[in-house]
Amino acid sequence: MLIRVNLNGTIVPAAEARISVLDHGLLFGDSVYETLRTYSGRPFLLSRHFGRLKHSADGIHLKLQWTRDDVRREVQRTLDSESRAGESRIRVMVTRGPGELSLDTETTADPSLIIIVVPLQELAHEIYERGVAVIVSSIRRSRLLADIKSGSLIRQVLAFSETKSKQAFEAILLTEEGYLSDGITSNIYLVEGNRLMTPSLEAGIVEGITRGVVLDLARSMGLDVIEGLFPGNELDQADEMFLTSTTREVVPIVSVDGKTVGSGKPGPVAMALLKSYRASIAGLLEEG
Ligand SMILES: Cc1ncc(COP(=O)(O)O)c(C=O)c1O
C-alpha cells in the first residue's frame, strides 16, 4: 500500500518517517488527530476538521502552532507528492512532542504535525445495499473527554478486536451508565416513525463531521431530529438504524447482536439520507 507521510513539513517515505521515542504522543497517547477523506482528489470539509482538531487541542491544552491554512497547504503538498488514481484517506495528527520520561507536559518543547495519506478503501456497493451487522461492545465509553479525538485509543483498539472476532462491521459503545453513545469510529442513529434519534454530546460522543451534515439533511427532509440520552434497550424499538463516518458515509444497520432491526433490510430513511448526502458532496467540496 502506498503510504505518504509529511513529518513537520518534510515529505518522507513511511519507512523513513521517524519520531522520538520520548515523544509524549508515543509515551502517553498525548496527541490529537483527525481523519479526512478526498472526493475527486480534493480534501473534503477540511475547515470543519481543522475546527475539531483545534477543539481537541484546546481540550488537552496543546497549543496548535499551525493555522488552518498551514494544515491545508501541508495536506495538499502531501497529496500532490505522488500521483495516484482513486481517493485518499488522510490522517492529520499533532503530538505533544519529545520531552522527559514524565507526564509533565512542561518538559516538552515542540509538537509535531504528522500527516499520513493512504489509499481510501471504499466500501463495496453491496454493503450499502444489504446493510451491516453490528454488536454492542463489552467495552464502555467514558463520557469524560469523549469529545476530544486524542491518541489514547486503547478502548477503541479492544472494541475493534472484539468486533472483528464476532465478524461484525462495527460496535456500538454504551456509556458507563448504559446510555447509547457512538460506534468505535462512527455516530449512530435510530429511526422510529418520523423521529430520527441520535445520542447527544452529553452521551459522550465525538461530534462527527458527517453527523453535522446528515442532521441538517434530515431536518430539511422533514424528519423530527432528537439528540438526547437514550438507554441501551432503545435499540429494540428502532424501525431502522444506521451509522455515519467520514470514510463510510451513511451505512444502514440491519442487525444488532444477531437480532434483526426492523425489516432486516436497509431502511428508507437511511437510504434517502445516503442519497442526499452523496448529492450534497459536490457543493460541500466548495466549502473547503
Ligand atoms: C468516536 C467517533 N465517533 C464518530 C466518528 C465519526 O466522525 P466523522 O463523521 O467526523 O468521521 C468518529 C470518527 O473517527 C469517531 O472516532
Q: Is 209 in the pocket of ligand 1 (CB under 6 A)?
A: yes
Query: Which ligand 1 atom is the nearest neighbour of the CA of 206?
Result: 3
Q: What is the pTM of this model?
A: 0.97
* Residue 149 is among the residues annotated as catalytic for this protein: yes
Task: State the chain's maximal CA–CA distance in angstroms.
Answer: 57
* 149 CA to centre of ligand 1 in angstroms: 9
Domain 4-119 indexed as CATH 3.30.470.10 = yes
The residue written with cell numbers 453527523 in the block is: 211
Tell me: the pLDDT tens digits for 37-67? Answer: 999 999 999 999 999 999 999 999 999 999 9
Q: Is 45 in the pocket of ligand 1 (CB under 6 A)?
A: no
- pLDDT at residue 85 tops 90: no
Q: What's the CATH code, domain 125-282?
A: 3.20.10.10
Tell me: the pLDDT tens digits for 110-164? Answer: 999 999 999 999 999 999 999 999 999 999 999 999 999 999 999 999 999 999 9
d(CA 224, CA 231): 19
Tell me: the pLDDT tens digits for 172-202? Answer: 999 999 999 999 999 999 999 999 999 999 9
Candidate list 149, 166, 259, 275, residue with the active-site label: 149
Q: Is 78 in the pocket of ligand 1 (CB under 6 A)?
A: no
Query: Which ligand 1 atom is the nearest neighbour of the CA of 146?
Result: 1
pLDDT for res 82: 81
Q: Give the single-character DSSP code of 261.
A: P
Rounded alpha-carbon distances, angstroms, from residue 185 to 107, 155, 243? 32, 11, 10
Q: Is 204 in the pocket of ligand 1 (CB under 6 A)?
A: no
Query: Which ligand 1 atom is the nearest neighbour of the CA of 246?
Result: 11
On whether the CB atoms of residues 171 and 163 are closer than 8 A, the answer is yes
The ranges assigned to domains in the chain are: 4-119, 125-282
On whether the CB atoms of residues 208 and 172 are closer than 8 A, the answer is no
